[in-house]
Structure 1
Amino acid sequence: MKIILTDDVVGVGDIGETVQVKPGYARNFLIPRGFAIEAETRNARQVAHRMRQIEAKKKRLKGDAEGRGKQLGALRPEMPLRVGSGGKVFGSVSARDLAAKLTEMGFEIDRRRVLLAEPIRKLGTHKVKIKLHSEVVVTIEVEVVAAEATKAEEDRAVEAGRQAIEARFAAREDEDDSFDDDEEEDSVD
């Protein structure tokens, strides 16, 4: 079924495009939610009017995206990764992580708009492209740094683990003592 998109739909197309999709997807999802209209000759005047509205909306969205792109281009988010003693990096920075960081910084970005071929697994500065609009792609620099756990935090974690183990052993000894007491009482009778 041929439809005209009235909004950007990730994986289908951008606003104003005429695309071919499966009829069920168009009738049950895109058209009822206002993401598309049917591209038929029967309603040509209505489609022409709607296309003028779509073009105006497209220009407005492009202007907004360019403004956001300038602000976003000035950002340099820092993404911490844990690093082992030999300099080995544990984990990676994915598109989802970067989108969450940008949201924290005040830019609501869908993770599918972050154009990252594969997760970042190295420390340093990396250039990442973000597609804000079909015609606006911004490149930002992401600084991947070593997450520094302070010595005090590490000591507290070790101490907490030691105390948890001691508490378990103490609980087991109490259970063993109560079991021995029960056996002694049974033998006295």
Structure 2
Amino acid sequence: MATMEVILATKIEGLGAEADLVTVKAGYGRNYLIPKGLAHEATASNRRFIANLQAARAKREAEELSAAQEVAAKISGLTVDLTLEVGQGGKAFGAITNQNIHDALTAQGVEVDRRAIELEKPIKSEGEHEVIIKVHPQVEATLKVVVKENA
């Protein structure tokens, strides 16, 4: 297969961030990335402009990190109260999943990705549980979840 090197102009999930020099299939680069303005051909003159793209990337990453730290601080101060349906004999019907936690956070005005909530397994018992939320690759927050039984 024919490949080509391109310089990414924007962050593309699964491929790289701006100012990255990546190798892609020639058709993908010529027919999609370059015409849409998502990448530039890696010519000698274009390689000189990588510094400008790297500056924009550093600024964007710093903004994302500070926003993630603000969200983490907000999450760390919260307590989420959830109820778990319990039948006779203390047997739980269902469980508290990351979707339930996500909905409770959204109701409190905190928006995080559902997949960022790291539950080892669904919660099936009452009490206080600490849940880790990975807000950013470098930032984690701990959320206190209080589960009460509802007979």
**TM-score bin, normalised by smaller chain:** 0.7 to 0.9
Partners of 1:72 and 1:54 in 2: how far apart?
A: 27
Instruction: State the TM-score, normalizing by the size of structure 2.
Output: 0.73
Question: Which one has a larger percent strand, Structure 1 or Structure 2?
Answer: 2
Deviation at 1:15, TM superposition (A): 5.5
2:140 corresponds to: 137
Alignment partner of 1:93: what SS? coil
Q: 4+ runs of 1 displaced by more than 2 Å?
A: 1-9, 12-24, 26-34, 36-43, 45-48
1:94 corresponds to: 97
Task: Give the 3 Å change call, closer, same or farther, for CA 20–50 of structure 1 in structure 2.
Answer: closer
Partners of 2:142 and 2:53 in 1: how far apart?
A: 33
* Structure 1 letter corresponding to 2:103: A
Task: Give the 3 Å change call, closer, same or farther, for CA 130–6 of structure 1 in structure 2.
Answer: farther
**% identical equivalent positions:** 28
1:159-178 superposed matches below 5 A: none
Give aligned pairs, total: 144
Task: Kindly indicate whether the alpha-carbon contact (under 8 Å) linking 2:69 and 2:139 is maintained by their aligned counterparts in 1.
Answer: yes
1:43-82 superposed matches below 5 A: 43-82=46-85
- Which of 114, 117, 121 matches 1:111? 114
1:119-130 superposed matches below 5 A: 119-130=122-133
Partners of 1:32 and 1:123 in 2: how far apart?
A: 55
Partners of 1:120 and 1:19 in 2: how far apart?
A: 44
Specify which structure has the bigger relative contact order, considering alpha-carbon pairs within 8 angstroms and separated by 6 or more residues: 2
Larger Rg: 1 or 2?
1
RMSD: 3.5
Instruction: State the TM-score, normalizing by the size of structure 1.
Output: 0.60
Structure 2 unmatched ranges of 5 or more: none
